[in-house]
């Protein structure tokens, strides 16, 4: 485990984001190898897409782009030996999962929960917009589902997720996954994970004040 003076990288993702899946599955081992502390930052892409005039995923709005993405993701997962199954429907609401993740990140089980949600959605084709799926995932992680699900209806968690999304937009995010460093660099996409970690290493010991919203 990296200590308090380790360099920090913020990992921004939406559970509905396809390329956030390989990023979430890869980031732990890569960050540990690089000696970088990662902070998981779930947010909602929906409001950011809406601000760009999009009412659904650009992969649905632009079919040629979408066709390539699904094939690319399939090739990518095969190369990483990650299970892959195209979720139906796509995208699915990530609201409940994101709110549960915030609670989990406060209590030490957030990162495992995030990986389990991505695996359920893109590895097994399960419906993450279904509260039952989220409850099952929590149970599989030995977490009592009821309190975490009840918290998704609290004003505190709702407000925090909105604030995190606002912060993402302020940092210039327009898609996911994205990575931000203490000195304000933004890296977009699973393909930039290694580069972002390398960059973060140069920020040794600095605090990431700008990204601290929670």
Q: How far is the CB of 48 from a second copy (least distance, A)?
A: 8
Residues in 71-100 at the binding interface with a second copy, rule: CB under 8 A = 71-72, 75, 79
Nearer to a second copy (CB atom), residue 100 or residue 173: 173
Nearer to a second copy (CB atom), residue 70 or residue 90: 70
What distance in Å separates the CA atoms of residue 144 and residue 147, rounded to the nearest whole number?
7
Q: Is 52 in the site for a second copy (CB under 8 A)?
A: yes
Q: How far is the CB of 126 from a second copy (least distance, A)?
A: 28
| Among residues 32, 130, 156, 191, the one that binds a second copy under rule CB under 8 A | 191
The 10 Å Cβ neighbour count of residue 205 is 10
What distance in Å separates the CA atoms of residue 181 and residue 200, rounded to the nearest whole number?
6
Q: Is 192 in the site for a second copy (CB under 8 A)?
A: yes
* Order of strands, sheet of 8-13, starting from the edge strand that comes earlier in the sequence: 37-42, 8-13, 178-181, 186-188
Q: Which among 34, 15, 66, 23 is positioned nearest to 189, based on CA atoms? A: 23
Q: Is 70 in the site for a second copy (CB under 8 A)?
A: no
Q: Is 55 in the site for a second copy (CB under 8 A)?
A: no
Nearer to a second copy (CB atom), residue 110 or residue 210: 210
At 49 the three-state DSSP class reads helix
């Amino acid at each position: 485990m990296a200590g308090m003076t380790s360099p920090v990288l913020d990992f921004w993702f939406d559970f509905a984001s396809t390329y956030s899946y390989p990023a979430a599955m890869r980031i732990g081992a890569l960050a540990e190898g690089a000696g970088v502390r990662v902070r998981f930052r779930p947010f909602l892409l929906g409001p950011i897409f809406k601000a760009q005039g999009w009412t659904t995923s650009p992969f649905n709005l632009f079919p040629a782009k979408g066709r390539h993405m699904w094939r690319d993701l399939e090739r990518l997962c095969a190369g990483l030996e990650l299970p892959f199954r195209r979720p139906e429907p796509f995208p699915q609401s990530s609201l409940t999962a994101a709110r549960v993740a915030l609670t989990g990140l406060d209590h030490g089980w957030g990162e495992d929960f995030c990986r389990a949600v991505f695996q359920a959605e893109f590895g097994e084709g399960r419906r993450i917009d279904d509260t039952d799926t989220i409850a099952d995932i929590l149970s599989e992680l030995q977490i009592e589902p009821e309190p975490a699900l009840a918290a998704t209806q609290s004003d505190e968690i709702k407000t925090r997720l909105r604030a995190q999304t606002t912060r993402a937009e302020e940092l210039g995010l327009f898609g996911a996954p994205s990575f931000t460093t203490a000195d304000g660099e933004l890296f977009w996409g699973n393909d930039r994970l290694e580069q972002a970690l390398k960059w973060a290493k140069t920020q040794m010991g600095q605090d990431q004040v700008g990204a601290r919203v929670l």
